[in-house]
Amino acid sequence: MESGSINQSNRLLGKVAKGAGVVFFGLALAKFLSFLSRIVIARFFSTSEYGLFSLGFALVSFFSLVAVLGIPKGTTRYMAFFRGNGQIERIGGVVSWSILLCIVSSLAITFLVVSWADFLAVEIFRAPEFGLTLSVFAFSIPFLAFIYVLISIYRGLMRVSERFFFSDFLRNLLFLLFLAPVLFLDLPFVFVACAFTVSIALASLLFGLYALVKRLVLFPGFSRSDFFDFDLSVARMLLIFSLPLLLVDFLQQVMAWTDTLMLGFFASPELVGLYNAAAPLTKMLSVVLTSTVFLYGPMVSELYARSLIGDIKRTYVVLTKWISSATFPLLCVFLFFPSQVLLLFFGQDYVVASMALQVLALGFFLNNLLGPNGATLIAFGDTRFLMWTSLVAAFLNVILNFLLIPVYGIVGAALASVSSFLAINVLRVLRLRSSIGLFPFDMKLVRSILVYLFFIVPLFLVSDFLVSVDVLFLLLVFIFFYFGYILSVFLARGLDDEDLELMNKFAQHAGVNLDHATKLLEKYV
């Protein structure tokens, strides 16, 4: 690769990493607040009621993504693509239609869910008391849809602060605050659903007010009149691109929540509650990938519009190494100390979910190893392939849950979920391999992991003897695992020139001089 292209690729990596840092902090904060609210619900309500909350949350997440018709991803892609092509004037129509279509669709979905809430509660989940709770949950759908589409617009503008404040921080903080009076007044469980819906509605309205006060589109050459451009050809283009992504989102939600929903069908709310103690913990492993993809997607769309395939491949491989390196030590914590983690956060009743926690953690990490393949295929416009692979993986997920849950319970649900997500990621990587010759694995990453395992596997032999632990112990284990991995990277010579350059960029941004440290680290490249 020529030096000019290398410099451009490094600038791209720097932008993605900087934006990913903000999104990562936001997602980590959101996961923490969401996790804290789950702990509160699990400890102050029964295991069955916590399971009903998990079912309601799953259904709302499912229906709200269906309601937006896949349009948020199409909105981000076309905003970036038109920017890359210099067609700034077409962005206004994309923004206008995305908002209008999502509002109309989400209101229709809300009406259907409320109408069928009692049927779902009685006939599907065999919990008549769930009907009213689900109806209350359903009123959050249009507000969630509005948040999703506004985030996609600001994502197309390469801005991350709006997502951080309104989606990651504000709505999760409001939920915790609204839970307080529910607990203090000892209100019935349905008021938990009320607190959830009101928090999302308030965050959505504040986000919309912010968007009205601030200009939505800030590109040079963009006219405010472009925002009111309701050209039907733009709507048709957006829908043709996005509708396959609707099916992708639908099927990914099927894969994400089939384990929870089928546990509710085959087993009981108690098992749903146990499983949803393990699942939120392991989703911490996906935070780095999700935060990286947030700006990676629109940037790759720009590069694709300019036919810079070499830069895309280089960026993909480097980001995959960073994502995997950032999450592998956390995987080891979950693999070696699952019982202790569950005991600490949820209590003794949830320790039986230890094996499910291990299986899910391993699955999420394997997905990280395969990199941001879905975002890359969206940037390439290969939405039909995404649709068909999602269909295959979702069908596999349902079949495996049907076969494994009756026999293995929550461990069977975990195995089914991991298998389906791994299948879809492998198929996507093979597609990228055949189309642009992409190979996601970096051998320096493999060497670093092998050296790391050599040092920490002995800890696995003693982990079973540690039954009762506290926060300080797990914090020390967490720090030890990460410092151990950093040492392993040095010993395995796992650094690249890109790593050192980006470390210097972040240090300069923070006002820190790393010149002497960089010279020392160059010995390990």
Domain residues for the domain of 329 are 3-442+496-516
- Asked whether the predicted pLDDT for residue 175 surpasses 60, the reply is yes
- The confidence score (pLDDT) of residue 518 equals 55
Arithmetic mean of pLDDT, 138-145: 93
Residue 86 lies in a domain: yes
Question: What burial letters (b/e) apply to 393-412, b meaning 16+ CB within 10 Å?
Answer: bbebbbebbeebbeeebbbb
Residue 2: pLDDT over 50 = no
Q: pLDDT, tens digit, for every residue of 218-236? A: 554 455 555 556 667 777 8
416 within a domain of the structure (yes/no): yes
Q: Is residue 56 included in any domain, yes or no? A: yes
pLDDT tens track for 27-53: 677 878 887 888 888 888 887 788 888
Q: What is the average pLDDT across 159-177?
A: 86
Residue 184 lies in a domain: yes
Residue 123, in any domain of the structure: yes
Closest CA to 74 of 270, 255, 298, 337: 298
Span 325-371, pLDDT tens digits: 888 888 888 888 888 888 877 777 888 888 999 999 999 898 888 88
Based on DSSP, count helices (H) and strands (E) in the chain, helices before strands. 22, 0
Compute CA 513 distance to the chain's CA centroid, rounded to the nearest angstrom. Answer: 34
List Cα–Cα distances, 441 to 182, 325, 494, in angstroms.
49, 12, 13
Quick one: how far is CA 108 from the chain centroid? 26
- List, as one string, the DSSP characters of 76-144: HHHHHHHHHHT-GGGHHHHHHHHHHHHHHHHHHHHHHHHHHHHHIIIIIS--TTHHHHHHHHHTTHHHH
Classify burial at 309, counting beta carbons within 10 Å of its beta carbon; exposed 0-12, middle 13-18, buried 19 or more: middle
Indicate whether 447 belongs to any domain: no
The predicted pLDDT at position 245 comes to 79
CA gyration radius for the chain?
Answer: 23
Does 36 map to a domain?
yes
- SS3 category, 397: helix
End-to-end distance of the chain based on CA atoms, in angstroms? 19
Q: Looking at the 3D structure of the chain, how many domains does it have?
A: 1
Residue 296 pLDDT > 70: yes
In a domain, 479, yes or no: no
Q: Where are the beta strands (DSSP E) in 353-401?
A: none
Q: What does each C-alpha distance from 428 to 161, 346, 393 come to in angstroms? A: 30, 36, 11
